Amino acid sequence: MSEIVTITLTINGRRITRAAGAHLTLLRWVRDEAGVTDPKYGCGEGICGACTVLMDGEPVSSCIVLAAQADGAEITTAAGLLERDGSLGPLQRAFHACHAAQCGFCTPGMLMSAAALLADGRTWSPAEIRAGLHGNLCRCTGYGPIVDAVEAAQRERAQ
Amino acid sequence: MLTRPFRYERAAHYADACDLLREHGDDAKVLAGGQSLLPLINIGLAQPGVVVDISRLAEGRDITVGADGYLTLGALVTHARLAADARARSAQPLLPEAAAHIGNNRVRNRGTLGGSLAHADPAAELPLVMVALGAAYEVTSGHASRSVRAEDFHLGFFTTALAADELIVSVSAPVLGPGWGWSFQEVSRRDGDFAMAAVAALVRIADGLVVEARVAAAAVSDRPVRLADVETALTGCPPGGVADRVGPLQGISPAGDAGASAQYKRRLARVLVIRALQEAAGRAGEAA
């Protein structure tokens, strides 16, 4: 192996193979090589959560995973939560309805942490939802509506 | 910031990784979960020429409880897996409890046991519980293996007894014996932040009195430290009286930082020691 590695990722159902720098993080690979720009670069240290994606179903900070480490994985970003016809999915609709985004920078990461919670299938209390999102920072201080949105999506799922 | 390009080597076995480490020396860094190394690379504090990825080894992921009374964990077990593992929880609850305190859920999904121990952050949870438990680490150079006690492994700030070509393969910790209670206490500014102080305690009660105790603290020295004075002072103590046996802590040397002064950390550590001993004694009482 060398400074260039060829890897394959399936991003939101689309399989992509590229040869690119081995030093690229999963975030840079997804944004710059695959052109999927909804995960954001925030802190670069895995603290803020703006780069959160699902890697084989588990939330990870894509800024502190090497793309080469994810070779072969299924990656889901916020765009992967859309319905087949391109309309908003249930969690996204709930974020919209609850005004859970202000500037929007944290939203793609919030959505993925929330999606991981909901994928678990359990019904979470507001306190557990807060605990589940605690590694995702919102600088607009919009946490209340975000927790409301996850609860709303959870209620909709139960119906 | 933009990362300087490096060579990427994906090891197939521990022995390959050790060979690569010998070949590249100081220019190489070991990558497991990457939850400490990649932030350091991103902010420019680490600039390796070669990254040796051990995160995809088939080895190193077992969790086993042996007939010898030891819980053995592969070095590549993630914090999330350790925190959720039912066998580990029943064999030695201190370990999953400590793992559940690490970082946020994304860190726990990727971060590994061996990575945390080898990184040796003085505020880290897993080195602390390993020292409290008297655990031993199995390390390999590819050619030879040896066992290193946790207390002999953690030498100082980000400094361990590992040679440049050695890797941790597994960890063995004693299971919780009859009559023992346990506790893990940590205070940080926010959930998931580095500890201002953290304490792990194990207490054994027989005939209504404390007969044995193991206590260690993290984030108050350059490594996790056993509090031998506290352990000795507890012998013969009734479970309700443990708080009275804990004087000013010896052997710690906290450094003040933006979050808390040295004096604050010193007092906090003593409070956490008392809470941990009370909880551990209570649990030992329940178990007896």
Considering only residues 186 to 205 of chain B, which have any Cβ-Cβ distance to chain A shorter than 8 Å? 190-192
Interface contact B45, partner A, CB < 8 A: no
Of A1, A66, A135, the CB nearest to B104: A135
Task: Give A44's contacts in chain B (Cβ within 8 Å).
Answer: 1, 39, 42-43
In DSSP terms, which residues pair with B204 in a beta bridge? Answer: B180, B212
**Minimal C-alpha gap between A36 and chain B (Å):** 19
Q: How many other CB atoms sit within 10 Å of the CB of residue A77?
A: 24
CA distance B81 to B60: 13
Show the low-confidence residues of chain A (pLDDT under 50): none
Q: What is the CATH number of domain A83-158?
A: 1.10.150.120
Task: Give A58's contacts in chain B (Cβ within 8 Å).
Answer: 80, 109
Interface contact B57, partner A, CB < 8 A: no
CA distance B154 to B129: 12
* pLDDT of B241 above 90: yes
**How many Cβ contacts (< 8 angstroms) between chains A and B?**
98
* Model confidence pLDDT, tens digit, residues A91-132: 999 999 999 999 999 999 999 999 999 998 899 999 999 999
Contact B73, B114 (CB under 8 A): no
Range A129-154 burial, b when 16+ CB lie within 10 A, else e: bbbbbbbbbbeeebbebbbbbbbbbb
CA distance B151 to B153: 6
Q: Which pLDDT band holds residue B259 (cuts at 50, 70, 90)?
A: confident
Over residues B77-97, mean pLDDT: 97
Q: What is residue B154's predicted lDDT score, i.e. its pLDDT?
A: 98
Q: Which residue of A lies nearest to B48 if distances are taken between CA atoms?
A: A23
CA distance B10 to A128: 38
Ranges of beta strands (E only) in chain B are 7-10, 28-31, 50-53, 63-65, 70-74, 136-140, 145-149, 154-156, 159-160, 167-174, 180-187, 197-206, 209-218, 225-226
Residues 6+ apart with CB under 8 A from B193: none
The whole-angstrom distance between residue A61's C-alpha and the CA centroid of its chain comes to 9
**Minimal C-alpha gap between B40 and chain A (Å):** 8
The CATH number for B63-174, chosen from 1.20.1580.10, 3.40.1190.20, 3.30.9.90, 3.30.465.10, is 3.30.465.10
Q: For residue B44, what are its two tokens? A: 């420019």
Q: Among B218, B213, B210, B205, which residue's Cα sits nearest to residue B230?
A: B213
Q: What is residue B258's predicted lDDT score, i.e. its pLDDT?
A: 86
Q: Which CATH superfamily is domain A4-80 in?
A: Beta-grasp domain (3.10.20.30)
B7 and A1 within 8 Å at the Cβ level: the answer is: yes
Q: How many other CB atoms sit within 10 Å of the CB of residue B25?
A: 11
Q: What is residue B287's predicted lDDT score, i.e. its pLDDT?
A: 64
Q: Torsions phi, psi of B154, nearest 5?
A: -90, 105
Interface contact B122, partner A, CB < 8 A: no
Q: Which residue of B lies nearest to A117 if distances are taken between CA atoms?
A: B105
Over residues B144-156, mean pLDDT: 98
Residues of chain A with CATH 3.10.20.30: 4-80
Interface contact B51, partner A, CB < 8 A: yes
Of B1, B53, B107, the CB nearest to A46: B107
Q: What is the number of residues in chain A?
A: 159
Of B9, B38, B55, the CB nearest to A64: B38
* Cα-based distances in Å from A146 to A49, A158, B49, B141: 14, 19, 42, 49
Sorted by where each begins, the domain ranges of chain B are 7-53, 63-174, 180-287
Q: What is residue A157's predicted lDDT score, i.e. its pLDDT?
A: 87
Interface contact B1, partner A, CB < 8 A: yes
Task: Give chain A's mean pLDDT.
Answer: 95
Task: Give A116's contacts in chain B (Cβ within 8 Å).
Answer: 105
B63-174 against B180-287: fold identical: no
Q: Both ends of chain A: CA-CA distance in Å?
A: 51
CA distance A143 to B221: 36
Task: Give A68's contacts in chain B (Cβ within 8 Å).
Answer: 8, 10, 53
* Model confidence pLDDT, tens digit, residues B35-53: 999 999 999 999 999 999 9
**Minimal C-alpha gap between A55 and chain B (Å):** 10
Q: Which pLDDT band holds residue B210 (cuts at 50, 70, 90)?
A: very high
B8 and A3 within 8 Å at the Cβ level: the answer is: yes
Q: What is the number of residues in chain B?
A: 288
Q: Which pLDDT band holds residue B182 (cuts at 50, 70, 90)?
A: very high
In DSSP terms, which residues pair with B126 in a beta bridge? Answer: none
DSSP state string for B72-98: EEETT-BHHHHHH-HHHHHH-THHHHH
Task: Give B8's contacts in chain A (Cβ within 8 Å).
Answer: 1-3, 5, 22-23, 66, 68
Of A22, A52, A58, the CB nearest to B8: A22
Instruction: Check the CA dihedral A11-A17-A18-A19 and report its sign.
Output: positive
CA distance A137 to B193: 13
Task: Give chain B's mean pLDDT.
Answer: 95
* Model confidence pLDDT, tens digit, residues B88-101: 999 999 999 999 99
**Minimal C-alpha gap between A85 and chain B (Å):** 30
Task: Give A131's contacts in chain B (Cβ within 8 Å).
Answer: 191
Q: Both ends of chain B: CA-CA distance in Å?
A: 56
Residues of chain A with CATH 1.10.150.120: 83-158
The whole-angstrom distance between residue A36's C-alpha and the CA centroid of its chain comes to 12
Domain B7-53 top-level CATH class: alpha beta
Q: Torsions phi, psi of B285, nearest 5?
A: -60, -40
Give me the residue label for tokens 């076995």: B13
Please tell me the pTM assigned to this model.
0.95
Architecture of domain B180-287: 2-Layer Sandwich (3.30)
| ipTM greater than cut 0.90 | yes
CA distance B169 to B14: 8
Q: Which pLDDT band holds residue B192 (cuts at 50, 70, 90)?
A: confident
Of A25, A58, A68, the CB nearest to B109: A58
CA distance A8 to B112: 24
